[in-house]
């Protein structure tokens, strides 16, 4: 999660809707091969330094859609003066085989926001859900910029963008860093939600770090006192805690504190950063938490759930990323029943294994 580039891992679902995996230091994998894009949006924030010449921001393959690809540039001159610029990509110039690509030179090395617009066939019965009026989040973005603070309803309509950070130095895991490598039969697992574990004032932590990755670090002595040698973290990927507040429903008074309703499976939950620090801080503090837990001899297990994306079901469809890029590629559909989402888990849908 250090930065983004063209190294985009393929999104893989498991046959089971819920899975767990011991967390290991990140490895770079091959570029993804299951995305179609039609607009790439970029935005430069204030204070960017350095250059990012020859940065390829879009290298994604085309699947179902033959729509043109567009690049959206969004330059933030001041906090209140934001300019959106969109460029249409020509399939003869910006497409090689099944790969759409664009080279953008001279961008800042951080503080740039980007998104996609995708267009294509509109037939519901064909399984498509293209809507080029919506700016979509890159499903492989390593950092996501959106709301700053957890559960703040005034921010519920915040636009989500992918972003990157090439200004910061790579995270220092330390020369003496090593994994606990405990036998599974010896694990004493404590399942927790990162935010809920320390969000209350009874945690005794400073308000700035309550409910954050850093808050978990502060409580490592407590975990050791309990005899815990492994923590299983409810989803720590970017998710939509305000999903119940989109429309009137029996749960519209609630906030999703569990961590399901995932928006992106590669970016850390930005609102778990301390003091509303945002996506770059979230990425760094997540690594600090994992390093501290491992150094204390505590394994880290991530809860990964592929039937709880924030794009809802066919009754209350919502579009953030996957559905608008290629619904047929990312979700299981019943093509013999008006392309309805298949629902094996009772959660409205399931992603393709």
pLDDT at 86: 72
Separation of CA 297 from chain center:
28
DSSP state of 273: S
pLDDT in tens, 277-293: 999 999 999 999 999 99
pLDDT in tens, 159-175: 899 999 999 999 999 99
Cβ contacts of 163 within 8 Å, gap of 6 or more: 4, 110, 111, 112, 113, 114, 141, 143, 144, 145, 279, 280
Residues in the chain: 353
Average pLDDT over residues 108-120: 88
The yes-or-no verdict on residue 30 having pLDDT over 80 is no
pLDDT in tens, 88-111: 778 888 889 878 788 878 888 998
pLDDT in tens, 236-268: 999 999 988 888 889 888 999 999 889 999 999
pTM to 2 decimal places: 0.77
DSSP state of 152: -
Centre a 10 Å sphere on the Cβ of residue 245 and count the other Cβ atoms it contains. 18
Closest CA to 154 of 63, 245, 228, 60: 245
């Amino acid at each position: 999660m250090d930065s983004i580039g063209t190294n985009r891992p393929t999104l893989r679902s498991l046959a089971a809707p819920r899975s767990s995996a011991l967390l290991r230091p990140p490895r770079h994998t091959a570029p993804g091969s299951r995305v179609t894009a039609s607009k790439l949006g970029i935005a430069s924030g204030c204070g960017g330094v350095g250059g990012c010449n020859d940065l390829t921001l879009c290298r994604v393959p085309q699947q179902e859609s033959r729509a043109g690809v567009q690049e959206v540039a969004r330059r933030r001159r001041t906090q209140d003066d934001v300019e959106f610029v969109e460029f249409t990509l020509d399939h003869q110039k910006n497409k090689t085989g099944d790969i759409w690509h664009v080279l953008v030179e001279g961008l800042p090395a951080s503080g740039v926001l980007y998104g996609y617009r995708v267009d294509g066939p509109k037939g519901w019965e064909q399984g498509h859900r293209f809507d080029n009026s919506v700016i979509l989040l890159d499903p492989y973005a390593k950092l996501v910029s959106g709301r700053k603070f957890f559960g703040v309803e005034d921010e519920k309509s915040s636009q989500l963008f992918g972003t990157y950070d090439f200004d910061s130095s790579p995270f220092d895991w330390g020369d003496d860093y090593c994994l606990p490598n405990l036998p599974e039969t010896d694990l004493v697992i404590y399942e927790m939600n990162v935010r809920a574990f320390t969000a209350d004032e009874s945690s005794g932590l400073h308000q700035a770090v309550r409910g954050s990755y850093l808050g978990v670090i502060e409580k490592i002595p407590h975990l050791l006192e309990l005899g815990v040698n492994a923590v299983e973290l409810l989803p720590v990927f970017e998710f939509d805690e305000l999903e119940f507040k989109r429309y009137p429903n029996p749960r519209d008074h609630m906030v999703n504190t569990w961590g399901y309703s995932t928006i992106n499976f590669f970016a850390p939950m930005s609102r778990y950063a301390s003091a509303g620090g945002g996506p770059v801080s979230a990425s760094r503090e997540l690594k600090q938490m994992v390093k501290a837990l491992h150094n204390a001899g505590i394994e880290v297990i991530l809860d990964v759930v592929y039937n709880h994306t924030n794009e809802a079901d066919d009754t209350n469809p919502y579009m953030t990323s996957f559905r608008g890029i290629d619904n047929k590629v990312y979700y299981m559909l019943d093509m013999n029943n008006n392309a309805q989402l298949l629902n094996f888990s009772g959660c409205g849908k399931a992603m393709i294994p």
